[in-house]
A and B are shown apart, each in its own frame.
Chain A
């Protein structure tokens, strides 16, 4: 306990020294109702890095993404999350978004009656307002929208339609990346953005993501398939199992998983937990 406290303080000091550390997740635990889903996650992400998270179904990947973006159906029962050195766990979802956290949803919701364009304009301008910037007028907004639509080769008609309503699975995913391009976040969390995309769309979306990569922007890419990581090459690959990161490595780890599956990971988990707590 004493040791823990000391650790906390020292890491905070570190954060201020090394300003490149964007996200720092420490022993994060979260549950829904009685069920604990995240069992102590530790993860450090520096600006400009791409981290891939893999792991079996139900291991807690989407839950981690939701907790980071502030979904309140999950109770955070322990740990902390620092974003640019600030604890964000008490912030509302909108405040986190305004600080630059973006989640591309695994299952984007359909919102009938709210047009994509109106929705995005509201979002862009609320984020601008939080930064003390003037709102974009309709003309500038349209120019920006046109430009960013090209990035994911999105059809203009889709912006006129209600948010995701009647969109195909692939179109929804493309729309998520389009929104990401519009909102210019610092930390982009992509939750299985590749699932549901055809081969061409996967390439287009991946190219869009790569175009958005920069020294200031970091990515967490949740995926089941090594294929995506051929396009978006990660700096690190982590395996999430039973609500813990049980193994971390470079992009080679993804290849190894593709080949061997997860069984060997499940067996070594006890050791790994200890390792990641150190």
Chain B
């Protein structure tokens, strides 16, 4: 086992994990997501580099050509194959461990993830090795997009990968960061266990996009923990397409007045995939707005789960909190469990939530077909339209187009 990055934190995390154990389905957070398929496997954590090259990466993801990109292979930063020479002034990319003597970084690290309560957060803390730091310095407006490309790759033996990111957008800064999780072509089973900790400083503006598209044998658990300061705007777009089991936890705390956030999620599941999104927004102070829209397209025997909580604390007057979850079922065997939850302790708030699950609209389908458009094509047009509602929230056009065609291809496969 490699030398620990943060021996003290990591020892503590191990003891948390020993105390918590793995969650069962009696645990409300894991009610619909049975992780026994993961636990029944033996995963090795001896991480061998998969040998991916910059050229391969650029070929697969042409839209990152002019961006900064960090390649993380099996949890380890592959510096040779990354492109970060032209990091703009005002942005720092490095390891968290290099900032051990920097109190302004250390105050964020391991402060937002729920290490004491979540087995996977505890495991991640205990075993992650290359905790990545992206810091946007105060007042810096970064136009250049930044991508983190996580490649999971295993030749034979199933492996477990712990990815960790600390993203700090300081006061008055602005940036767009996207993180992709993919498998190396032909990779055997992998289990990715990722944690993102994000701090959005006062008056900062941050967009964070996640694509989860590992192969059909992979397991993926991802925790994103965000703290927002006053007057900050945070947008997160989560697109989940590939993976046998994908489970996301998104926690956002609005901790300063006039904070605003936009949470968009799109999950497209087919075959026997399970994609589970749990979100929680905490309004701790007055005058904040939160908006969430999650949409799912579920085919085959796949299973979608959405559980969204909104907490409005007693002092958080003048809160506006909206949440909506919409699902389309493409087959009779597809299942969705949707559960919106509100806990409101303030009296002067505007909150709304709703969840719908249904078939594709029969009238719209007939309308398109009556114009000569074939059934498959018509369904695909309607599904893409449904999905674009989410994808349109992604501001990088080339990335958005990539995602749109990825979703389209997946839907075509699912429908045919």
| Chain A residues in the interface with B (C-beta under 8 A) | 69-71, 73, 92-94, 96-98, 102-103, 105, 108-109, 111-114, 118-120, 122-123, 126-127, 130, 162-163, 179, 183
Instruction: Tell whether, in the assembled complex, residue A111 and residue B385 are in contact, meaning their CB atoms are under 8 Å apart.
Output: yes
Q: Is B56 an interface residue (CB 8 A)?
A: no
- Which A residues are CB-close (under 8 A) to B94? none
Interface contact A126-B362, CB-CB below 8 Å: no
Asked whether any CB of chain A lies closer than 8 Å to the CB of B20, the reply is: no
Cross-chain contact A123 with B385 (CB below 8 angstroms) = no
Contact pick for B371, options A71, A97, A118, A162, CB 8 Å:
A97
Complex Cα spacing A114 to B386, Å: 9
Given contacts A111-B367, A113-B384, A114-B385, contact A123 B362 (CB under 8 A): no
Complex contact A123–B384 (CB within 8 A) = no
Among B363, B375, B384: residue with most chain A CB under 10 A: B363
Query: In the complex, which residue of chain B has the Cβ closest to the Cβ of A98?
Result: B372
The reply to whether B385 and A93 contact each other, CB–CB distance below 8 Å, is: no
Q: Across the interface, which residues of B come within 8 angstroms of A97, CB to CB?
A: 369-372
A94 touches B389 (CB 8 A): no
A94 engages B369 (CB within 8 Å): yes
B367 engages A105 (CB within 8 Å): yes
Q: A122 and B389: CB pair below 8 A?
A: no
Residues of B within 8 A of A109 (CB): 361, 363-364, 367
6 shortest A-B CB distances, which residue pairs? A113-B385, A97-B372, A123-B371, A93-B369, A127-B372, A114-B385
Q: Which of B366, B373, B389 contacts A123 (CB 8 A)?
A: B373
Measured between C-beta atoms, what is the minimum distance from A67 to chain B in Å?
A: 12
What size tier do the contact residues of chain B reach?
Answer: 20 to 34
A-facing mask of B372-413, CB < 8 A → 1, else 0? 111101100110111011000000000000000000000000
Q: Does B415 contact A (CB under 8 A)?
A: no
B375:A122 contact, CB within 8 angstroms: no
Extra inter-chain contacts (8) besides given A93-B369, A126-B377, CB under 8 Å: A94-B374, A105-B367, A108-B367, A109-B364, A111-B385, A112-B389, A113-B388, A119-B381
Q: Would you call B370 and A103 a contact (CB within 8 A)? A: yes
Contact B375 A92 (CB under 8 A): yes
Q: With a CB–CB cut-off of 8 A, which chain B residues contact A94?
A: 369-370, 372-375, 378
Complex contacts, B373 vs chain A, CB 8 Å? 94, 119, 122-123, 126
Known: A109-B363, A109-B364. A123 touches B382 (CB 8 A): no
Query: Which residues of A are found within 8 Å of B362, using beta-carbon distances?
Result: 73
Please, which residue of chain A has its CB at the minimum distance from the CB of B392? A113
A93 CA to B386 CA in the complex, in Å? 23
Residues of B within 8 A of A130 (CB): 372
Which residues of chain A are near B367, meaning CB under 8 Å? 105, 108-109, 111, 163
- The reply to whether the CB of B368 lies closer than 8 angstroms to some CB of chain A is yes
